Amino acid sequence: MESTEIKKRSFNELINDETPVLVDFYADWCAPCKMMTPILQQLKSEMGDKLNIIKIDTERNPDVAIKYQVRGIPNLILFHKGNLIWQQAGVVQMPQLKQMIEQKLEQSWEN
């Protein structure tokens, strides 16, 4: 029980951080999820410290997946200061992903 509590708290601390966080919900058996890994690595290399990226295995963390209504994977959720500002299921190509994140963050910083 305790380790789950620690994981939850760590997840909550991460998504409440000043730095925006992109969460990739995935499962090991999911072929499209595996396609997201190099896309996310490229995104991280281009965005650097402006964005944190974490991966959440839906099989090991079903409570988090349920909380954020993750019904299909891969599922990307963008958080800024604890607020969910964008969510999309399916594989997203790098140019569209980067553009969407930058656009959503711009709107988030304006508010």
Active site residues: 30, 33
d(CA 26, CA 57): 5
Whole-angstrom CA distances from 87 to 3, 4, 5, 53, 104 are: 27, 24, 24, 14, 11
Residue 68: CA atoms inside 13 Å, Cβ hemisphere, count?
Answer: 28
